Amino acid sequence: MARTRTHAEDERRIYPLLAYQADPIRESVKWLGRKWTLLILRDMAFLKLTRFGQILRNNPGLTPRVLARRLRQMQEEGLVERLVADEKVAYRLTSRGEDAVFILLAFLRYGIRHHLPPQVARDAESKS
């Protein structure tokens, strides 16, 4: 008599493919998890910083070389676009970059709840 597979056996056959080959979380972390990327997105989305110097000044410890590299990588990923007008360079979030803002909002919520003193967190949550 043929034995039928259990649900657990079926899951073991499906999940390794997802976990190791086609995991969207892994791919997202690969691009968004690079050092400074989320902070650059934060500056562009929430603070409306668009110029290289503005972003650099707002992030102590970030060097011009790393910022230039990160902005190039973010362009390659399609998160930002580089705009040149009248010999001035600015950066703007693409629709893909704007989608990443939801991740920043989740980080913001987590940070307010778990990394602020309790009274400051309560005040911040009551305002939202």
The position carrying tokens 């997202």 is 28
User: Residue 71: what pLDDT?
Assistant: 98
Q: Name residues of the chain where pLDDT drops below 70.
A: 1-22, 120-121, 124-125, 128
User: Is 115 inside a domain boundary?
Assistant: yes
User: Is 8 inside a domain boundary?
Assistant: no
User: Residue 76: what pLDDT?
Assistant: 95
User: Residue 128: what pLDDT?
Assistant: 63
User: Is 40 inside a domain boundary?
Assistant: yes
Alpha carbon 50 to chain centroid distance?
A: 17
Question: Where would I find the H helices in the chain?
Answer: 7-20, 24-32, 37-46, 52-57, 64-77, 95-114, 118-127
User: Is 3 inside a domain boundary?
Assistant: no
* Tally of domains in the chain: 1
User: Is 6 inside a domain boundary?
Assistant: no
User: Residue 19: what pLDDT?
Assistant: 56
Look up the domain containing 99 and give its range.
13-127
User: Residue 17: what pLDDT?
Assistant: 55
For residue 63, what is the domain's CATH number?
A: 1.10.10.10
User: Is 1 inside a domain boundary?
Assistant: no
User: Is 5 inside a domain boundary?
Assistant: no
User: Is 121 inside a domain boundary?
Assistant: yes
| Predicted model pTM | 0.74
